[in-house]
Amino acid sequence: MNTLVKSSSGIQQISVDSMLLSRRKIFIEGEINPESACEFVKALMVLNAEDTNKYIDCFINSPGGEMNSGLLIYDAIQSSRAPVRLFCIGRAYSMGAVLFACGRHGRYILPHGELMLHEPLLGNRIGGNSSSIQSISKSLLEMKRMMNRLLAGHIGRSEKEVEKMTGHEDHYFNAEECVKAGLADEIVDFAKLLEG
């Protein structure tokens, strides 16, 4: 999507994404995969190179996706020298919820935003011999423990409490429940998204 912008050299057509990036606003939208994770990291690098003191606002509307890609985004956000504020603008499910909940400089959710947490899932069908299936199962359980430990550290809950929040089935949290559970800091309106 493009927009028209007036400047001293006339009227130019600029992509909405470019305009928002120039205002230090980036997005995690759609499925989290290797391509979207790399695009996010590139944008974060550009904004860190410009200024490490100004906030970067990250807006999440995602059904989740691959754990490894999500952990790349997580590592980038956590080690960003510029502070990153996170906003749930719709849904933040699965890995999207983990990324949102792990914010360190503000986690804001719109009144009708929603988070969903669950245990790590296998992306592909299981195949192979019993040894390979056992190895996959062990790896998945290790990933589950690591994700629960990571979440627990960010939301001020014990790993046992996080296990209840993520175990066995999908757990949905509306905006008020997110704040109560420590998954979000504050419910905000659209005006907060426009702040510079």
pLDDT at 17: 85
- Judge contact between 58 and 86, C-beta under 8 A: yes
For residues 151 and 185, which has the higher predicted lDDT (pLDDT)?
185
Task: Clarify whether 94 is annotated catalytic.
Answer: yes
Assigned token pair, 181: 């559970």
Annotated catalytic residue within 94, 105, 137, 168: 94
H and E: helices and strands count for the chain: 8, 9
pLDDT at 107: 97
Q: Which amino acid is at 19?
A: M
Cα separation values, 156 from 64, 134, 151, 161, Å: 22, 33, 8, 10
H/E segment holding residue 181: helix 175-181
Q: How many CA atoms lie within 13 A of 192 on its CB side?
A: 18
Question: Domain limits of the chain?
Answer: 2-191
Cα separation values, 72 from 21, 117, 144, 159, 188, Å: 20, 19, 17, 22, 27
Least confident of 44-53, 88-97, 120-129, 171-180: 120-129
What is the β-pairing status of strands 25-29 and 56-62?
Answer: parallel
Q: Which amino acid is at 49?
A: A
Task: Clarify whether 154 is annotated catalytic.
Answer: no
pLDDT digits (tens, 9 = 90+) for 162-187: 888 887 788 999 999 999 999 999 99
The CATH number of domain 2-191 is 3.40.50.970 = no
Q: Does 87 have pLDDT greater than 90?
A: yes
Q: Tell me the mean pLDDT in the region 111-122.
A: 84
- Judge contact between 62 and 96, C-beta under 8 A: yes
* Percentage of the chain lying above the pLDDT 70 cut: 83
Helix, coil or strand: residue 182: coil
Q: Does 53 have pLDDT greater than 80?
A: yes
Annotated catalytic residue within 118, 130, 135, 168: 118
Q: Name the DSSP class of 156.
A: T
